[in-house]
Structure 1
Amino acid sequence: MSAAIVEEAAVRVLVVGDANVDLVLRGDVVPRFGQAEQLLDSADLTLGSSAGIVAHGLARLGIPTALAATVGDDEFGRLTRGWLSEAGVDVSSLGVHPTLPTGLSVILSAPTDRSILTLLGSIPTLTGDAVLAAVKGASHVHFASYFLLPGLASQLPSLLASLRSRGITTSLDTNWDPCEKWAGLAAVLPLVDVLLPNLEELRAIAGSLGVLGGSDEDLARRLAGLGPRVVVKAGREGGWSVAADSPVVRAPALVVEAHDTTGAGDSFDAGYLAAVASGIASESERLRWATVAGSLSTRAAGGTPAQATLTELTDHLA
């Protein structure tokens, strides 16, 4: 599909959730206490947050995108706003909290795993009213980092019902629950059109809802029976998706030299949602957009510096 056709077909997407910076550390990153000094290979300050990375990725792919989130009145907040604006994201609904700091995540990135230390700061202060005020003209709303915004999460069932009544489609990437309780999703999933977990999140969500036993595909299909299409990020295996009454659809990842996997799942989300917003009806093609976008994002440290442009993505699809 050409860039011109995509731009003509694209609809406006509102991304809702967190906005913060990431400090990505690589090298000898496993802490040793006792005042031991450890030397790093690299340290990169980049745009972080699931919602921020998704919004940035959508804008890079030519999709008209706005972000509803809250930052602090500080340098990290100004950096966040600047990075998003440079990518073309509409930041008119990016609120500024007068006293709380902008959120910060420190990513300890090892070759085969990573640990994330997060300061929430202003992230949880986003409200349902602010989201409704930001919807203006959006045809799809994507929610990210459900468990970092407990106030908004408690309002989400009524908010989703309101959006559905307006004919606005929705998607949800819960991300990991730091408390590992996975509460509240039973009331949310029947009102969501697309759920975007990784494999670990899929298993945790299913277990919290009493969906036990069988393969990952069995778990996903039973979650899909609650309402949403379940689109699963499977790392190096690419991604797959399933609805309650359809076969599993799969797409492989690209073979790339991965520098850092931070935010790759969020770039996967952006690729999938960009395909939806561009009018791609084929589920296999939507997944190809997702896996290509997720794979290409790993070429540099942080979630956004190596995100695909529309030209790059279409070249790889071709």
Structure 2
Amino acid sequence: MAEFDVLVVGDANPDLLLRGDVRPRFGQAEQLLTAADLVLGGSAAITAAGCARLGLRTGLLAAVGDDVFGGLVRAQLSALGVTLLAVDGRGAPTGLTVVLSEPDDRGMLTLPGTIAALRPSDVSDDLLASARHLHVASLYLQPGLASGLAEVFARARRAGLSTSLDTNWDPAERWESIASILEHTDVFLPNANELRAIAGLDDVDEAASKLVAGGPTVVMKNGAAGARAWWPGGTCDAPGRAVEVVDTTGAGDSFNAGFLAARLGGLAIAEAIGWAAVAGSLSTRAAGGTAAQATRADIVSP
């Protein structure tokens, strides 16, 4: 039996989450906040935490520095039941994201630091042999990993793993290497804007059909509207769950965890996107990406 149900690869860093009057005004204007929280961040780390919360045996491969922020990442992942497979940060400080959070949107300022330190060679064949599924997150914050990820996914598939990818937004808006990576991807998990940008089409159905023709199932996060999935010969939708929103940070990552937990538990795609949409919704009930993540009981209860 594999050691891990899911091996998540990508970013792990603290998020400094600021709420209140967060739209910056220069000219030495002082603004007052209503809340500030230093929490576990990084798309990969939040997805891994969500997977563990949903009962999956979860490993996280991430580069983390030997500094205060690195210590915080290690302690929080351990408390959340995630096995951290740490790569040395290659001399960089642990990354940090400042999240300027409003009820229905957010802005992010990121210091890449160790986030960019992962390399394809860090995802060894021995490591792949320890897992059933490989998920990669925050592709475009990790250019060294991105340049060789197609081959990593190809090796994973040869080893019998299924694969999934959440690129997040490309700050350069070039979306490099994506076509070759998607050839070896079982499930692609974009939001609506990412789907449009990658496919170069405004209509999400046309955009998804274009990508599905290359191989992957496409599962789109659509905010409060829930989720939609496309695969060869089929499509389906799922609503989210109405909640009082505190903070949307990491909702898409919790969505990923819900989908992966359902699929690795043997559920069909139509059921899995329901899990994903509810998991994403429930995660917004508290500040940060992990404080209100769903359990299995939360998802199956009305």
* Alignment TM-score > 0.5, same fold: yes
Matches within 5 A, 1:61-72: 61-72=54-65
Q: Is 1:199 matched with 2:192?
A: yes
Q: Distance in 2 between matches of 1:233 and 1:301?
A: 20
Q: Is 1:81 matched with 2:74?
A: yes
Q: Mean alpha-carbon deviation: is it higher for 307-316 or for 218-227? A: 307-316
Tell me the amino acid that sits aligned with residue 237 of structure 1: A
Q: Is 1:40 matched with 2:20?
A: no
Counterpart in the other structure of 2:143: 150
1:174-207 deviation line (CA, Å, top 9, x unaligned):
0000111111111111110000000010011111
Tell me the amino acid that sits aligned with residue 82 of structure 1: A
Counterpart in the other structure of 1:242: 230
1:199-224 deviation line (CA, Å, top 9, x unaligned):
010011111xxxx36x3112111111
Please point out which of 134, 139, 147 is paired with 1:141: 134
Q: Distance in 2 between matches of 1:39 and 1:117?
A: 19
Please point out which of 10, 32, 43 is paired with 1:50: 43
Tell me the amino acid that sits aligned with residue 143 of structure 2: P
Q: Is 1:269 matched with 2:256?
A: yes
Q: Is 1:124 matched with 2:116?
A: yes
Regions of 4+ moved over 3 Å: none
How far off its partner does 1:99 sit?
2.7
Q: Is 1:221 matched with 2:214?
A: no
Please point out which of 222, 238, 244 is paired with 1:251: 238
Tell me the amino acid that sits aligned with residue 260 of structure 1: D
- For normalisation by structure 2, the TM-score amounts to 0.96
Counterpart in the other structure of 2:297: 311
Q: Distance in 2 between matches of 1:131 and 1:192?
A: 16
Tell me the amino acid that sits aligned with residue 130 of structure 1: D
Tell me the amino acid that sits aligned with residue 266 of structure 2: G
Q: Mean alpha-carbon deviation: is it higher for 143-152 or for 122-131? A: 122-131
Tell whether the 8 Å contact from 1:73 to 1:99 is kept in structure 2 after alignment. Answer: no
Counterpart in the other structure of 1:107: 99
Tell whether the 8 Å contact from 2:50 to 2:290 is kept in structure 1 after alignment. Answer: yes
Task: Give the secondary structure class of the aligned counterpart of 1:296.
Answer: helix
Tell whether the 8 Å contact from 1:73 to 1:98 is kept in structure 2 after alignment. Answer: no
Q: Is 1:296 matched with 2:282?
A: yes
How far off its partner does 1:310 sit?
2.4
How far off its partner does 1:55 sit?
0.2
Tell whether the 8 Å contact from 2:103 to 2:245 is kept in structure 1 after alignment. Answer: no
Q: Distance in 2 between matches of 1:195 and 1:98?
A: 30
Identity %: 53
Q: Is 1:23 matched with 2:23?
A: no
How far off its partner does 1:135 sit?
2.2
Tell whether the 8 Å contact from 2:90 to 2:114 is kept in structure 1 after alignment. Answer: no
1:95-116 deviation line (CA, Å, top 9, x unaligned):
2326311110000012222100
Q: Distance in 1 between matches of 2:104 and 2:49?
A: 25
Aligned length: 300
How far off its partner does 1:172 sit?
0.3
- For normalisation by structure 1, the TM-score amounts to 0.91
Which structure dedicates a bigger proportion of its chain to strand? Answer: 2
Task: Give the secondary structure class of the aligned counterpart of 2:301.
Answer: helix
Task: Mark the CA change 1:29 to 1:254 in structure 2 (over 3 Å): closer, same or farther.
Answer: same
Task: Give the secondary structure class of the aligned counterpart of 2:193.
Answer: helix
Tell whether the 8 Å contact from 1:11 to 1:277 is kept in structure 2 after alignment. Answer: no
Task: Give the secondary structure class of the aligned counterpart of 1:85.
Answer: helix
Tell whether the 8 Å contact from 1:103 to 1:121 is kept in structure 2 after alignment. Answer: yes
How far off its partner does 1:306 sit?
0.6
Alignment RMSD: 1.5
Tell me the amino acid that sits aligned with residue 262 of structure 2: A
Task: Give the secondary structure class of the aligned counterpart of 2:136.
Answer: strand
Q: Distance in 1 between matches of 2:133 and 2:45?
A: 16
Task: Give the secondary structure class of the aligned counterpart of 1:304.
Answer: coil
Tell me the amino acid that sits aligned with residue 305 of structure 1: A
Please point out which of 166, 173, 176 is paired with 1:180: 173
Structure 2: 5+ residue stretches without partners: none
Q: Distance in 2 between matches of 1:166 and 1:143?
A: 16
How far off its partner does 1:284 sit?
1.4
Q: Distance in 1 between matches of 2:113 and 2:4?
A: 32
How far off its partner does 1:21 sit?
0.7
1:52-109 deviation line (CA, Å, top 9, x unaligned):
0000000011100000010111111111111111111111x12232631111000001
Tell whether the 8 Å contact from 1:262 to 1:302 is kept in structure 2 after alignment. Answer: yes
